[in-house]
Amino acid sequence: MIDPTTLASASNLGALNDLLAPLSFRAGWNKAEPSLWAEPHARFAPATAHLKPAQWRWDHAKAGLDAAGRLINASRRSAATSSW
């Protein structure tokens, strides 16, 4: 199991994504497909068949969120929200 202090000290988003993956976390900025589509879009069961139930611990979630808050600067947040 990954130590929460390791999550909190991630040096960049790529490293944070790599640390979150074994915990079955997927960050909103690291999506396999977009949240919004230009046209109506349906997702079928095969697209999510690989997902497994997970139990997330608060100390891991908080450490990951703290690291993300430190690593994602205001301009990146602004760019992400302007595409909505």
| Any domain includes 66 | yes
| Any domain includes 23 | yes
Alpha carbon distance 76, 58 (integer Å): 26
| Any domain includes 48 | no
| Any domain includes 37 | no
| Tens digits of residue pLDDT in 55-84 | 888 999 899 888 888 888 754 655 666 655
Q: Which domain holds residue 20?
A: 1-27+56-84
Q: What is the total count of domains within the chain?
A: 1
| Any domain includes 20 | yes
Q: Is the pTM of this model over 0.85?
A: no
